[in-house]
Structure formats: C-alpha cells, structure tokens
Chains A and B, each alone.
Chain A
C-alpha cells in the first residue's frame, strides 16, 4: 500500500504540473491512510417521521388482494385485464383506514361489473393496510430498494482498471483494494469508484464528522504577502476569507482575503477521480464495479 500511495502522489504531481498554477504538488509524504470504513447508507431526509404499518396486516392484506381482487386489478394492484389501478385510485388514496373503501365494497359498482364484496372488519382493515402501505412505499422514494446492479463484465472492468481508466496508477487489487468487494454494497462501491468522498447536499448541512476531517479532503496552501505559507485541509474558501484545518493539531486557522490576497492554491487528492467523472461511460462504470465486486 505505501508503494501504491507514493505512486499516486507522483501521478498527482505530474497532473498538477501539467495543469499549471492552480494546483500545488501533492505533499511529499502523505499521512498514513486510516483503514476505509463503509460509508453510512445514503438516507433521504425528506420525511423522517414515517407512519408505521403492521407488517402482518400488510401480508394478510396482500394475500387477500391477490386472491379476491387480483383477477381484475392485477396481482400488484396496479390494474389488470378488467379492473383499474388501485394504488393510483383517488378513492383508495383518500380512504381513511378502510372506511370509504368498505362503504364502496359493500355496494360495488354494478354498472361497471364490479361486484360487491362482503368483507369482515378484519379483512377490510388488512386490505386497506396493504393498499396504504403500498401507496406509501411508492410515494416515499427514500425507501426504494436498489436492485442487483452487478451486470457488468469483470474482465472488461479489470482491463479498464489497469488500462484506459488508469486506476492502477494509484490502486491495486492486492493492496488498498484487497477485499473491497466484501466491504461495500455494490451500489455504495460503485459510488466510491466515482468519488470516495461523501457528497455534500445542496440545502441543509449534513450530519456526522466534518468533511475537512476526511482524509480525502481538498488541501489548501495559503501564502501570505510575507511569503510565509500554511497548508491544511480546506474548510472554506470565499472571496473574503479562507479557513484551513490541520489534522495533526485539530486546529483551524483563517485569514481574511481581498483581491486574491493571500494567495490560495488548492490540491484535490481525488483529482484523478474528478477528472474521470467527465469521461466515464456507463458500461465502463458497470464493468469496473463488477470487477471490484470480485475482490472479496
């Protein structure tokens, strides 16, 4: 791993030089990397307080729906040969715990060949619970389950890893990525292939440790007019101020800025990932993921 990392620094140095004054050479001796830990699952924060549904009732309601309603309304309640979609039905969506649904079922809709149904209170509750739980899961995208995403070709992925993607300039299957396929869910792994850094969200600030404490945080070198310079993890750079963080002392330091003084030069340890982000084809991405999944 040390070998891989110093190679990585060399590559970044070359990349930095070729990009000109905006980027600083990578530090000569990068700090030892802490072991990677799985990222917490990405969670949509849109609606944290969710109604709870009785799972047993949902299951009973599902069976009842398939047995009694599925013939016309489809086995997933999304409509069938002769009956409309139930999960998009305004009447079902606006139903309160089976009340309106029950009133409707006791009469049916004879003019459209919808027979009436005599359900027990328990059956009605179960059916309504199933339908409302289903509608809720459709409406709450934070709970959507990502499917089996590993469809790529591992061999092609390995070839991209060592070839066009130049991933092996910094990483190796036997070194830093050993066992990576066992450490992450495939979708998380694919996300980290693209950028192994937690994405900032537009809007409310995220929780957890500050992003500048991340070992992959952007680095900044601040050079004062005296010539004295300071390097640390970038906390913020604006037209008016700059703040950096020194992980060794856990202290941050800030300077006011005016007309680009003091001068600030940024170096992103993940610049190779950022550059590749504009170049990925989806098949290459899938293939590399499929390859890394094999590194158990």
Chain B
C-alpha cells in the first residue's frame, strides 16, 4: 500500500484496490464523496461544500435507515488482551450504556465507527452491518471513543486499555496491536487517530493519577513510535520554570485526548493539551504549568513544538484546552491570514495566527464566568487563587464540564461564523486533600445546576456572538449544551436542541428549519457525503446511527 500511496495522483490504480482503500489525496480536500478523517478534512471546520440538501428543501429531509449498535461478541471478530468477561469498572453501563461519540468515516460507500472496545463497518446505502470488531478489554474508563483513522486498506483505533489497534478495513480482522500506555496507571484512550502521510497521530488520556501526558506519531505499517512529545517540560527544557520542579512537571498531566487539525503547507499538527495534575488542588504546582491547557503546534515529521498558546495558565478547574482548534483561512484588517480558532472549555473564544501562535483575540462566550482576575496582555484569563477549591467550598462558574467540551464545533466560510454549543452551570469545589503534595484530583465537586444552554454563532473576526439560540428547558433547568455540529454550503447547520431533536438550523440566523425527534440527544459530530449522486447526513444518538436523505 505504501507504494500505491506514493504513486497516487500520477497512476490510475486498479479498481479493485480503490474499492476498499483510502485515496490519501482525499485527506487534503474538502469532503464530498468521502468523509475520510475524523473532522472530514484536516481543517477541523466540519463544513461541507455539498448543497443538494439546503435551506429551501431541508423540510423534506427523511430517514434513510437506522443502525442500532450490536455489541454482541457473537459473529464478531474478536481480539484483545483482556479476559472473556470484562473486569470490574469496564462496564459501559456506567456511562449510560454504549453511545456513539465517534464521527463515522465514509470511504467507498462504507461507514466505519466505534464505541469503546467496538468497531463497526456498515453499508452506507442500506445501514446493513458488514462486520463488527470486538475488543476484549483489560479495563480502563469506558467513557467514549471518537472513532477510527484510515490509511490505505487499514483502520486504526484506540481502546480504553490503551492499545493502538490496526484492522483490515475490508474484513475487520486485526493486523496488530501495540500498547501505548499503562491502564494500571489510569491512562485510558479515547482519541480518533489522525493520519498525516505516513504518520498516525494519537494522544493518551486519563487524569485520575498524576501521570504525564503525551502525543505520539506511529508508523502506519508497523505501529512503532516515530516520535513522542510530552505535554510538560523535562529539566532544562524551556517552560520548566513554570513548574516548581521536574518532579511536579513529570507528574503534571496535560492529556491531549482529542484529535487535532493539520495544515499541509506549514506541516504543523495542531491540538489542545489537557488540564494539569493534580487536577483541582494546585498547591504543589505553583506557576503557569506549561504546556497544559494549551493550543500547541508540532511539526508532524519531527514532533518538535513550533509554538504554543496557553488558554488557562495554572488551571485548577479541569478546563483542558483539548477542544478542536479549527483552521480558518480568513481576513483580518484587510489581509489574508492563516488563523486558528478555539471555543475553549474555560468559557473563552480564542483566535490566533496559526503560523506562529500570535494571539489575536480573546472573547468570553457567556456572561457568567467568575473564575479569573481578568485578561492579561497576552489575552489569557489570569488565575484567581480565591476561586481555587477550598475546604469550605468555592462557588465557580462554570463546572468542570466547562462552558463547552469535546463535541466538535463547526466553522462555515460562507457565513464566517464559528458555531458552538454552550452551557452555563455552577459547582462548589471542596478541597479534600490539604496535603502540601496533594494527589489525583485533590478536591470534590458538587454541582448546583445548569441555568442556560445555547447554540451560538460567533463572528471569528470579533469574537462577538452574532446569534444565540436557547436550547430546551426542563424541570431541572437548561438542557443540552455542548454538541457536535456540521455546517454546509446549503446554508444549514446540523445540531441538536438539547431535548432529543436532531435539528437543521439556518446557518445565517439560527432559525430551526427541520427536526427529527430521535428520543435522545445526538452524541457525536454529524457528517455528510455524496453517494450515488445523493447527499446523506449521518448522525449518532446514543446507541443508534441515523442516516437522512431527501426523498427519491
């Protein structure tokens, strides 16, 4: 496949090869008849140029099929290092049952998607299952899995017990698996691998114990490490002075747990790092704690950091910066600029120059933030020690969930709007570990409630909220909030309403134009593609995948 990958573009390949394999040139284009990588393309925009389904006809959108997750090991391709029955703690029911948090890839008419320990291949025309891969787990937190990456004829995914697994796309049979982190140290893996040429980029997760975070590039053929980048500095490295000592830095967390974005011209891979450890008790890690809670650019071939921007210096509320950093080719002050934007869990929208990380804009997304002492000269919200967890309790807006979270936002170049689901909630943070060297989380959180949730459209140039649509309200308060989004050239924005409706909004105004009551909120990023000349929109909601299209 390597040879085939190299020759693509100059040689017409036999049809049999193309029938399964992924043409790597697709990765660099806007997605049309494929959705070949987690975000559809490398930009992270989750914008489709398709407009067969548009604001004028979306009212006719109708169900094509439903695929309900089949988690049974019967008939599945089985692999894995774990026992026949899953160990304690590895039960997906702990998280409300199996839920599709992965964005399906669509390649040559086949959808590939995941849940923790599972991969499925489904016929995109009919919703029929083609194969199911079942991983016998050793344990790890089974909270979610973002999906697969694809290279040629091969799929790649990560397991809660931290195996990097390669499957044959045609059959679901395992090619090999490699352990990337120790489940006994409470690492768990959820990311969708991102393939850039012959690099498979993946990050680890898990902040229960104070273990170091890292991003890796691995070889798609052998699975071996090409480079590893630690998210906190070691002695002598720049930024080491933002920790009291090497020991605290080496135990400082910073998990890069979500798939990132990539600029092929700059050869830079962009991603967000997680929160520092100990998570809520910061007394042993005085300083900014670089490079946690940062947007980072690394050279994809060398793994060397090109620049970083820290969104939350010395975080003490679990607000990682792992959210999708979206690449925007925009115009600022009349000049074309290579930009990168992020709606951060800490409640702020950031806009940077992606060539060098230079800060351009910081704007609050909601009005209820109470955790910082204002914005400094670099555009960073500054640490307010008074809002750290305390023994008697500290009331903080937002909660550890943040104003937004992992569900992927969207950017439409047609409207110039950055779309993101938000919620406003408060928690009381109680310091429980008063030791000068706390460990783990070090504090408990008691939620007060959620008081507002909305779908927002942010003007990327100013950070101003152009429109904000309140989501559903229930007896317990505002419902929903962070949600996977997809914008299209048809003038549409697909998302949910917080109460189980999958909704097509007018991307310019936020007006709902169409909805389907799925019974539960959409749980992944919606995606779209053209197949046999027909546009499909595919979305996961809990344990089912739904495909919509216009009537014949």
Contact = CB atoms under 8 A, between A and B. Distances in A.
Contacts of B477: 197, 199-200, 218
A282 B497 contact: no
A48 to B, nearest CB: 5
A178 interface: no
Interface of B (DSSP majority class)? loop
Contacts of B443: 144
B392 A282 contact: yes
A15 interface: no
Interface in B441-475: 441, 443-444, 446-451, 472-475
A196 to B, nearest CB: 10
A146 B441 CA distance: 13
A195 to B, nearest CB: 5
Given A48-B91, A266-B473, A286 B392 contact: yes
A211 interface: yes
Interface stretch (A57-65, A85-93, A101-109, A116-124): A85-93
B222 interface: no
Contacts of A151: 391-392
B475 A235 contact: yes
A94 B439 CA distance: 17
- Size range of the interface on A? 35 or more
Given A148-B391, A191-B428, A218-B475, A76 B94 contact: no
B501 interface: yes
B391, B440, B475: residue with the most chain A Cβ atoms closer than 10 Å:
B475
A90 B392 CA distance: 33
Contact of A147 (B95, B395, B430, B475): B430
A199 B395 CA distance: 15
Contacts, number: 186
B161 interface: no
A204 to B, nearest CB: 3
A90 B185 contact: yes
B497 A238 contact: yes
A1 B503 CA distance: 46
Contact of A90 (B89, B96, B182, B481): B182
Interface of A (DSSP majority class)? loop
A211 B472 contact: no
A233 B474 CA distance: 9
Nearest to A49: B88
Contact of B475 (A76, A210, A280): A210
Interface residues of B, number: 66
A211 B474 contact: yes
Contacts of A280: 395
Contacts of B423: 202
Interface in A39-60: 42, 45-51
Contacts of B29: none
A110 interface: no
A237 interface: yes
Contacts of B474: 200, 211-212, 218, 234-237
Contact of B476 (A90, A190, A198): A198
A182 interface: no
A145 B432 CA distance: 6
A51 B444 contact: no
A199 B439 contact: no
A149 interface: yes
A202 B481 contact: yes
Contacts of A140: 208
Nearest to B96: A204
Contact of A202 (B94, B430, B435, B450): B450
Interface of B: 88-89, 91, 94-97, 141, 143, 182, 184-186, 208-210, 251, 368, 386, 390-395, 397, 401, 423, 425-426, 428, 430-435, 437, 439-441, 443-444, 446-451, 472-477, 479, 481-482, 497-499, 501, 503, 512, 515, 517
30 contacts: A42-B446, A46-B94, A46-B95, A46-B141, A46-B143, A49-B89, A49-B94, A140-B208, A141-B441, A144-B432, A144-B433, A149-B391, A187-B393, A187-B428, A191-B448, A199-B450, A200-B450, A202-B425, A214-B475, A218-B475, A235-B474, A236-B499, A237-B473, A239-B503, A239-B515, A240-B517, A245-B475, A266-B473, A277-B448, A278-B368
Interface of A: 42, 45-51, 76, 78-79, 85, 87-88, 90, 93-94, 135, 138-141, 144-152, 187, 190-191, 194-195, 197-205, 210-212, 214, 217-218, 233-240, 245, 266, 274, 277-278, 280, 282, 285-286, 289
